[in-house]
Chains A and B, each alone.
Chain A
Amino acid sequence: MKGFLIYIAKIILVIILIAVALDGFYTAIFMQSKNRGKIETVFNSKAQKYDVVVLGSSRANNHFVSQMFEDKGLKTFNYGMSGGHLFEASLMLKLMIERKYAIKNVILEADLNLANDHQAEGICALFLPYIHNSNIIKEHFSNEENFKELYYIPFYRYIKFDAKIGFRETFFTAIHKKTNSLDNLGYYPLEKHKNGNMKNNIVNLNPLPHNKYYEEIKNICKANNINFIAIMTPMCENVVGMNYFDKVKKAYPEIYNYENVVVENQYFSSCGHMTDEGARIFTARILKDFFEK
């Protein structure tokens, strides 16, 4: 039995050593990531100057046409992330500030994402390779339920989120395989889909009265003299429960309601996401209202 217990101890030791080695190896690869995604790019970047930075979920990513801002002479990048919540948008802004980005305006898509202040697993995972290399990221995750496992158990975060930061992503990062997330200055245009879901029910959705991360973004902007523009973006006309946007307006009067700027189905790829054509109509209106003075 003694021999067996020693054998098990050896295996446990091997597991720990492998976990530490793999953790270090994967992290080292992500530390030199350049062209995979927005989070890695910001983390590994140096100071930048922007007139406009767009933050939010896919409804920011697909709705604000960066090039149209650029055409007006405004240096812009759309950092909206499909599937992201305000948890990730706030962390992204914190990283930019830490890297001494000089930002004049932050446009935050703040509408459906006000309904929760949780992390979006698929997106937040992309910050995790850097958790030991950034106090900002560590602090941001410190109140999360699974923080201890993610922080203290070597390689656990890469196993838990293997679909996002596992071997495949690490390999592509190592060979600098490019993705399209940084194309079009971060804006991702959508096409009209024949089978796009043009119905949506948000009756049961309610904005949190004080969304922690929305407030955090607002405060960061204030502290860094950044003009903060919070915007509700359009949804198609078939949405059930449109009074959600009124509820947002009531809870957050400073958020501009642009939900009605584009309504016709022809401009939507799915009910919550406009096509490129719709996004251009919408962006033109934003430019006119906020940047033509």
Chain B
Amino acid sequence: MFFNSLAFAIFLPIVFLLYWFVFNKTKSSQNALLIVASYYFYSCWDWRFLFLLVFSTFLDYYTGIQIEKGKSERSRKFWFWLSILVNLGFLGIFKYYNFFATSFSELLNSAGIKASPILLEVILPVGISFYTFHGLSYVIDIYYKRIKAEYNFVDYSLFVSYFPLLVAGPIERATHLLPQVKVKREFDFEKAKEGLCQIIWGLVKKVVIADTCATYANAIFDNYTAMNSFSLILGAVYFAFQIYGDFSGYSDIALGVSKLFGLDLLRNFNYPYFSRDIAEFWRRWHISLSSWFRDYLYIPLGGSKGGLWMKIRNTFIIFVVSGFWHGANWTYLAWGFINAIYFLPLLLSNSNRNNMDAIQLKFNPESVRVIMSIIYTFSLTCIAWVFFRAKTIADAVLYLKRMILSRDFSFQYLDNERYNYELLLILGIFVLIEWNNRTKVEPLSGKRNMLKVAFAIIAIMAFGTFSDYKEFIYFQF
């Protein structure tokens, strides 16, 4: 069941009405309904993996309590590591085993030792990377005594399995979501209205921007050997907007849906392509994952406090692991590695926190510098996205090489029966709308709300891509 499917358009109003009109008496009944709805939502993908989700939930629930109750450090450690190893074990088996087995076998073969890997014929349970990270942060926080264990299984299950965030995040923290599910929610008109606007804006991002960009980006990436410099540059830009529209659109819908039920989720995107440097980009892109890695990996490793080599090591670890989180492919590792290279000079020169303030433009040279730095940062991210999108690292390198060496900047006709430049007008309008609303969560709320909603609906209906339907990219992670 996709957020942009007819099934979800039926599912959501039913759950909404039941939630506020039938199960609205107590917090427990509200939570129970949301859990049933969430499990139903998840089982629409593949009911068999529901058992894995329930098992994972129960494991973290139980180990969390055992860690808290543990009288000796040894006992606490035992339950802590049990949870960590089982969680990462599942993730490793389902997501990474085949990759490592194949890579290891290729390594042996290249050394002259014949080996054929034993591969598992398993499909990746949707959302496993997300709900595993929910559970991990919860257990880690209990172990380090930052939070108390949750004794109510329904409440804890809702924290892990709440359907708006179940399959593609945002990656929630127990400190943020659990307190909200512990109290009865009262209907808040303004919040619900905001939620609805965010859903509509998320749909604009998904069907107008992401899916339309996808047809162009695919036509260019899939035939990159026949493309000239201009097309290849546009291909990278289109993919940058595809992945942004897709993932931030999903996040907007998730946050909006959640607001309808009176629950606030963590903001996942904050106009990342208006970043003035890579450090700022990573404070604005997939915020819930970046902050997760910062808090549970980077800081425990020593963060930026140690010596030079420690800083370099930690930077590479966090970015490469973050790349690897996206999938078992060398291209994701390369993407993470490149971002580490981008980030490192800022860290070493202590300028990684230079751009913490809001962007403001005036008619002065400083604003020109800001605009140039935004364009420069966007260009860097586009280069990195080529590695993320390409099938292999070799493809990505050839793509970039051809982009530089072709030196042909003419308009090309693509195999999606469109010219390579045709989408630029829509993207230009989209960027202007986002720029003018960069201080808000989404551009539809506020004054003349209904007029803006009407324009958004016209955009979805008239400019959306529907016939060439695409899943949300982050579902595969």
* A residues lining the B interface (CB < 8 Å): 1, 3-4, 7-8, 10-11, 14-15, 18-19, 22, 155, 159-164, 166-168
Contacts and interface: CB of A to CB of B under 8 A. Distances in A.
Interface of B: 20, 187, 189, 192-193, 196, 418, 422, 450, 453-454, 457-458, 461-468
Contacts of A1: 20, 187, 189
Given A11-B196, A160-B467, A163-B467, 7 more contacts: A4-B189, A7-B189, A10-B450, A14-B453, A18-B458, A22-B461, A163-B465
Contacts of B20: 1
24 contacts: A3-B189, A4-B192, A7-B189, A10-B450, A11-B450, A11-B453, A14-B450, A14-B454, A18-B454, A18-B458, A18-B461, A22-B461, A22-B462, A159-B464, A159-B466, A160-B467, A161-B467, A162-B464, A163-B467, A163-B468, A164-B467, A166-B467, A167-B463, A168-B418
Given A10-B450, A15-B457, A18-B454, A167 B196 contact: no
A162 B459 CA distance: 13
Nearest to A125: B467
B217 to A, nearest CB: 16
Given A7-B196, A18-B461, A162 B189 contact: no
A160 B193 CA distance: 28
* Interface SS majority for chain A: helix
A145 B457 CA distance: 27
B461 A19 contact: yes
A47 to B, nearest CB: 33
A19 to B, nearest CB: 7
Contacts of A18: 454, 457-458, 461
Contacts of A161: 467
B6 to A, nearest CB: 10
Nearest to A14: B454
Contacts of B461: 18-19, 22, 155, 159
Interface centre among A7, A162, A166, A167 (most CB of B within 10 A): A162
A163 B466 CA distance: 8
Contacts of A163: 465, 467-468
A74 B84 CA distance: 81
A161 B466 CA distance: 8
A18 B192 CA distance: 23
State the 6 A-B residue pairs at the shortest beta-carbon distance, nearest first.
A163-B467, A167-B462, A4-B192, A3-B189, A162-B466, A14-B454
A167 B422 CA distance: 13
A170 to B, nearest CB: 9
